[in-house]
Amino acid sequence: MDVLSFGKWLNLKEIARMEMKFRRGENQIEVAGIKFSVYISEKGRGFELRHKVKSETEIHEIINKLRSVYGEDFMVGIYESGKYTLIRIPAYIAERYDDIKRRVISVLCKKFMRAKNEEKRQYIATVLRRLAPTKGAAAVRNGL
């Protein structure tokens, strides 16, 4: 009887250590009223914001909405991805706008706390350091 209970507890501990791959909506931020998913690239080299659409008119509506809020120089990438079209905001564009940057940092902090894999935590920490440098790092970069 005790052997059976011990085996069950081991299985429960293993399940508790597992990392859930997908939690709907937790990795999303709202940019100009449109939900974008925060995606971290392989090896933590950077991040991008992604939104999937099906129709051509929806693409133009989203781009016009983004440019009306953030200006005409706001750049997005458009890529075909299976049956969807992917609207992508690269990191260097998102870093220019403080409101987007703050939202991305909050999502990445939540993601960092949830991550159980140490390698994944390192990738997220690398991106967070890039987004939210300390005062010391900013002083070194500016030559002060």
pLDDT at 23: 59
Contact status, residue 69 vs residue 99, Cβ threshold 8 Å? no
**For the chain, what is the mean pLDDT?**
78
pLDDT at 136: 45
Distances (CA, A) of 115 to 45, 88, 110: 17, 24, 9
- Look up the CATH architecture of domain 23-134: Roll (3.10)
pLDDT at 139: 42
Q: Grade residue 1 by pLDDT with cuts at 50, 70 and 90.
A: very low
Residue 141 predicted with pLDDT over 50:
no
How much is the average pLDDT of 119-129?
Answer: 83
- The model scores a pTM over 0.75: no
